[in-house]
A = this chain, B = another copy of it.
């Protein structure tokens, strides 16, 4: 055994950093009209992809994304020992029904929009811990299933507020391999639930920004890395409103120089696409990671990436019952070595 794997209060550093050996990103029609169209593996023609309901389509999208990540790495499904995944639907049914079809043993996760980071953190721990050689980690969301579950059915045409975000129709999946070549998961920080009392479900970016800032601050302290260590720090889906708040918090904490910080919710769409504050949903950071960001790492345009996926942990029921919005953020460092 080398250095201790636990670092500081909330972080871990991997002894044999697992390799991101293969990945895939699938997005919906709208996301395919955004700035990163060339970087996704599949842009859906419509929101049902041959299924009778949006929910079935979401599950199919996740299933196909995981299968694509596996096949792109020249793996067979039987080579993959474990599936870690989650989504936004009640009882994470997109995940469970996808796993039913794929047939890989499943550990289901719920971290709202932080799920891609959560699944990567656990996957990396289980591979580095010596339990598995090859594990897949994934997450997805679907605009229309989320709208009708969390807000108003799309057909109602309810007007949105400027701080609202657009749940992405998107999925991302990776295969983490103990061996092989590719970017590696080198360290990670598991977030605490942070709740500063925000109650507006139409402004989840502001509810999540403090969790992102707390996790990033802890990450640098725990790992004793300088705050300019990463080429890019990218939060999950704070959107414009939440990102602006996060930047204020960063300045206050003295943790991040401005040029190397961005947010998947801000990046995913063009300003012209009418998404108000930006993108959201588990699929937002999952598809940005498994599409454009990992492509940039392979091309050497990015060498040190810190993904800080953020999640708002409320439900419609807790909102109705007058609760504030708790949030969480998990950070995963991905590096070319």
- Interface residue? A317 (CB, 8 A): yes
- Interface residue? A302 (CB, 8 A): no
* Range of interface residues on A (Cβ < 8 Å): 35 or more
Are the CB atoms of A82 and B190 closer together than 8 Å?
yes
- Interface residue? A96 (CB, 8 A): yes
- Interface residue? A232 (CB, 8 A): no
Are the CB atoms of A6 and B131 closer together than 8 Å?
yes
- Interface residue? A257 (CB, 8 A): no
* Interface set, chain A 66-115, CB cutoff 8 A to B: 81-82, 86, 88-93, 96-97, 99-100, 103-112
- Interface residue? A5 (CB, 8 A): yes
Are the CB atoms of A130 and B318 closer together than 8 Å?
no
A1-41 vs B, CB cutoff 8 Å, 1 = contact: the mask equals 10011100110100100000000000000000000000000
Spot the interface stretch: A167-175, A191-199, A238-246, A286-294. Answer: A191-199
Q: A129-B129, A313-B93 are in contact. Are A191 and B321 (CB under 8 A)?
A: no
* Interface set, chain A 148-196, CB cutoff 8 A to B: 149, 190-195
A92 and B315 alpha carbons, distance in the complex (Å):
8
Are the CB atoms of B108 and A109 closer together than 8 Å?
yes
The contact sample of 14 A-B pairs, CB cut-off 8 A, is: A1-B130, A5-B129, A12-B131, A56-B323, A90-B317, A96-B313, A97-B318, A99-B192, A100-B194, A104-B192, A107-B122, A108-B109, A108-B118, A122-B122
Residues of chain A having any CB pair with chain B under 8 Å: 1, 4-6, 9-10, 12, 15, 52-53, 55-56, 81-82, 86, 88-93, 96-97, 99-100, 103-112, 118, 121-122, 125-126, 128-133, 149, 190-195, 313-318, 321, 323, 326, 328
